[in-house]
Chains A and B, each alone.
Chain A
């Protein structure tokens, strides 16, 4: 018996000491906060290094602008590279525009129909026709070609890198933190250095898109290959396969579904960024939206936004039907040949009849009625929008911002952040966050960062307040889930930028539309992941609880939620990261703070400022991400120590 009791005793004792120490540290924290608050009167870090970073970078940017045509680093690398990418872009774009317009909907139909789902195939094909109906066919082709070339480059780099990192742990150790960082950083931050090296317009937009959409290609390739059952690889080895034979005959084919999922994600991320990259003057659908919004041509903006949604939907469906094709029923050779013949026939006939561009007579003008409707909505729905606006501004944004920027002394904020980091994760993160925050302050980004943080906190609070209850509800109730799932599915494919459109129509510009757009964007994964967590709680645990006579409420709070807690916190992590990305993007529509500075830096070429803003955003992203991740890990029940 003593044998059995001993380890438990030890654990209890450890738990006890841990708790008492925790108490002491809390006291120390409170004392430190009071002391610092009295000693330091300033609420912002003095911007002593105001030009330490931006100065040299601006100098470099000026130098780069002046030497772009002369210096070998540009003439021998960046310019030829840009030229190659631009050539690829032009080729794809002119090919897409050369194709008779109905070929793309036909291909979409055939690819999806292969899985036997004719309804989906028809809907997707019609969605592919939609941009033509609203007069955006050529613009859509521009967006598609930009995306296509970015995806091709991303896959050409990402898949081999993923293979390499699956096979060499050292490579994985090296690139994993880089990928982590790449996925944490909001997209517009990439624009700044890219602009510096590639100038503006299409090529930098492509490069930014490649960078942003690379991580899923690498990650899921690695994941897929590592997920191949060990026995299959060993079986292959046992037959004397060379590593290359094992890779191509066993690992890659078996990892293919996962890799295809990665490709799908790469495509979706690329689309999201391509429409944003309009900031760089890349044209396409994003440009259309932005111009329409700034000129108050609401109908046009909405039509373009819907075109983005349609393209996203089509790409997602096509990607999925490729990824989840049933391997035991490969497409019959006859289907493939018939399809190819149909497509070839369509091209020949279309070209012969001169039907390349979308027939203008089919274009429908929906803009005026939409404009009228939106004006009506803005005027007559203000009884809803006004209170919402006021609540968010006066109830959340102003008090929090004032507390952070006017009341709290800056060392206090650092101390508290450091303390939380240390308790949740460890000394490493604490040291990093204190120094990183100090840097943000020294370069003069303190106030702007706190303002962005305020917006993020407000949006996160609202999102979590909606997403978690709804997620729990959907996780428990099959019928709710059945209703929500397709809606969430659809929402998840929509690029972030599009969420801004309807909100801005109702709320005009300012901080609130950005926050509401962020909420709309972030609750989707919030709900999904929460529901997933609730659903993943083992049935046995639930039944065990019920056999003890627990009420549904007791089971919920005693078993379901604690067991789902790590997943729910992972949902919060997702919410935070998506909110942050959206709050930055909202800078496009008057969200102010770091987002606005990003836009200014990109559009006006203020590179130094751009880097400073970038540092502030990255620091915020990394701290928030690591903290919530560490929290989720903490909530994980201990696993057997083997």
Chain B
């Protein structure tokens, strides 16, 4: 990771049980999770995971249930203590902090959105949203003002005086989102925030998050079990399996160069034309431009009509309008071929 690193996770292990050292040692010598559990009674939740997240980046960890993704985010946010390894946020080692120091970091730098929302049913929507500020000791007028503003941003204007249980699931998670945003955190953790919602609402919430992120530019670590969601939201995506990362990369990298069969299993289900951009099928250009051009970040789906009309190549420009290469039917067909 180049550029400004916000969060850095270094060799994090999480072992549940009484003999973590032995368990780590066994894993190091190639034992499987089952063998470790059999021998030590310990469960290996997270196995030597390292990654960096840049400022403003959305980093998605995708894995199925039992892959350790939730354990990982709980370790990173220190809801669980790591067994070994470090989590560094803005140069400060979270794992080495005292409870008091951690509390200060949580008050001012990080927020979390939970899978089952974790709202406070005894508080009105506005008091839920203002909770973080209340904890910091911000006075009532200011915290209500800030909470009201954030509630408006997430589309809950007019619901301030309601109680969470009077709202629909999607709206409840908007409260969860507002509560996380009100404290103006540097980094946001999302622990499967949309998986309890039905598919249409889920899509709305994903779009909402993308829209918010365009203006907010926060650092986000997002956990999901939904590969499509990961592709849609993530600048980079880590595929997690058995407590470790199988592959980390952009959506295009995962689809075009899956590192393992496991990763490929997920990419099969993905409508590639909607995800891959022209960049993924770019060829060096030859000859003179023929007047047909597309942009480098257009999806393949967008060029299909033009390619089907006319089989001549299409010229590709980058965001500055410079020609960088061509695409043709053959390249697109190859990229979209199933089961590569």
Q: Does B118 contact A (CB under 8 A)?
A: yes
Q: Does A14 contact B (CB under 8 A)?
A: no
Residue in chain A with minimal CB distance to B117: A231
Shortest CB–CB separation between residue A258 and chain B, in angstroms? Answer: 13
Q: Are A254 and B120 in contact (CB under 8 A)?
A: yes
Q: Does B59 contact A (CB under 8 A)?
A: no
Give chain A interface residues in 9-27, CB to chain B under 8 Å. none
Instruction: Fill in one digit per residue for A447-461: 1 if any B CB lies within 8 Å of its CB, else 0.
Output: 000000000000000
Contact of A232 among B103, B118, B134 (CB under 8 A): B118
Contact residues in B for A492 (Cβ distance below 8 Å): none
Q: Given A240-B135, A249-B134, are A235 and B118 also a contact pair (CB < 8 Å)?
A: yes
Q: Does A291 contact B (CB under 8 A)?
A: no
Give chain A interface residues in 250-294, CB to chain B under 8 Å. 250, 253-254, 256
Contact residues in A for B105 (Cβ distance below 8 Å): 240
Q: Given A249-B134, A256-B122, A328-B166, are A238 and B116 also a contact pair (CB < 8 Å)?
A: no
Q: Does A229 contact B (CB under 8 A)?
A: yes
Q: Does B104 contact A (CB under 8 A)?
A: yes
Bound CA–CA A166/B61 (angstroms): 34
Bound CA–CA A311/B136 (angstroms): 47
Q: Are A238 and B134 in contact (CB under 8 A)?
A: no
Contact of B111 among A234, A236, A238, A250 (CB under 8 A): A238
Shortest CB–CB separation between residue A230 and chain B, in angstroms? Answer: 8
Bound CA–CA A242/B132 (angstroms): 12
Q: Are B120 and A234 in contact (CB under 8 A)?
A: no
Q: Does B107 contact A (CB under 8 A)?
A: yes
Q: Are A238 and B77 in contact (CB under 8 A)?
A: yes
Contact of B136 among A240, A249, A256, A328 (CB under 8 A): A240
- The A interface is mostly helix, strand or loop, or mixed, namely helix
Bound CA–CA A245/B189 (angstroms): 22
Q: Given A235-B114, A245-B135, A328-B165, are A240 and B104 also a contact pair (CB < 8 Å)?
A: yes
Shortest CB–CB separation between residue B87 and chain A, in angstroms? Answer: 14
Q: Are B121 and A327 in contact (CB under 8 A)?
A: yes
Q: Given A232-B118, A254-B120, A328-B163, are A238 and B104 also a contact pair (CB < 8 Å)?
A: no
Q: Does B119 contact A (CB under 8 A)?
A: yes
Q: Are B119 and A232 in contact (CB under 8 A)?
A: yes
Instruction: Fill in one digit per residue for B82-117: 1 if any A CB lies within 8 Å of its CB, else 0.
Output: 000000000000000000001111111011101111
Contact residues in A for B221 (Cβ distance below 8 Å): none
Bound CA–CA A45/B164 (angstroms): 65
Q: Does A180 contact B (CB under 8 A)?
A: no
Shortest CB–CB separation between residue B43 and chain A, in angstroms? Answer: 11
Q: Does B194 contact A (CB under 8 A)?
A: no
Q: Are B107 and A240 in contact (CB under 8 A)?
A: yes
Contact residues in A for B222 (Cβ distance below 8 Å): none
Q: Are B114 and A231 in contact (CB under 8 A)?
A: yes
Q: Are A238 and B110 in contact (CB under 8 A)?
A: yes
Q: Are B118 and A242 in contact (CB under 8 A)?
A: no
Q: Does B79 contact A (CB under 8 A)?
A: yes
Bound CA–CA A564/B5 (angstroms): 58
Shortest CB–CB separation between residue A170 and chain B, in angstroms? Answer: 18
Residue in chain A with minimal CB distance to B114: A231
Instruction: Fill in one digit per residue for A311-353: 1 if any B CB lies within 8 Å of its CB, else 0.
Output: 0000000000000000110000000000000000000000000
Q: Are B104 and A327 in contact (CB under 8 A)?
A: no
Q: Does B131 contact A (CB under 8 A)?
A: yes
Shortest CB–CB separation between residue B34 and chain A, in angstroms? Answer: 13
Contact residues in B for A548 (Cβ distance below 8 Å): none
Q: Are A242 and B103 in contact (CB under 8 A)?
A: yes
Give chain B interface residues in 182-226, CB to chain A under 8 Å. 183, 189
Q: Are A234 and B165 in contact (CB under 8 A)?
A: no
Shortest CB–CB separation between residue B171 and chain A, in angstroms? Answer: 15
Q: Does A239 contact B (CB under 8 A)?
A: yes
In this complex, the member of A245, A253, A256, A328 whose beta carbon has the largest number of chain B beta carbons within 10 angstroms is A328
Bound CA–CA A240/B117 (angstroms): 17
Contact of B79 among A237, A241, A328 (CB under 8 A): A237
Q: Are B107 and A239 in contact (CB under 8 A)?
A: yes
Q: Are B79 and A238 in contact (CB under 8 A)?
A: yes
Q: Are A229 and B116 in contact (CB under 8 A)?
A: yes
Q: Given A232-B120, A256-B122, are A240 and B163 also a contact pair (CB < 8 Å)?
A: no
Residue in chain A with minimal CB distance to B189: A238
Instruction: Fill in one digit per residue for B157-186: 1 if any A CB lies within 8 Å of its CB, else 0.
Output: 000001101100000000000010001000
Instruction: Fill in one digit per residue for B9-29: 1 if any A CB lies within 8 Å of its CB, else 0.
Output: 000000000000000000000
Could you name 8 residue pairs across A and B whose Cβ atoms are closer than 8 Å?
A229-B116, A231-B118, A236-B131, A239-B183, A254-B122, A327-B121, A328-B165, A328-B166
**Residue ranges of B at the interface with A (Cβ–Cβ < 8 Å):** 77, 79, 102-108, 110-112, 114-123, 131-132, 134-136, 162-163, 165-166, 179, 183, 189
In order of increasing CB-CB distance, the 5 nearest A-B pairs are A231-B118, A240-B107, A240-B106, A235-B118, A239-B132
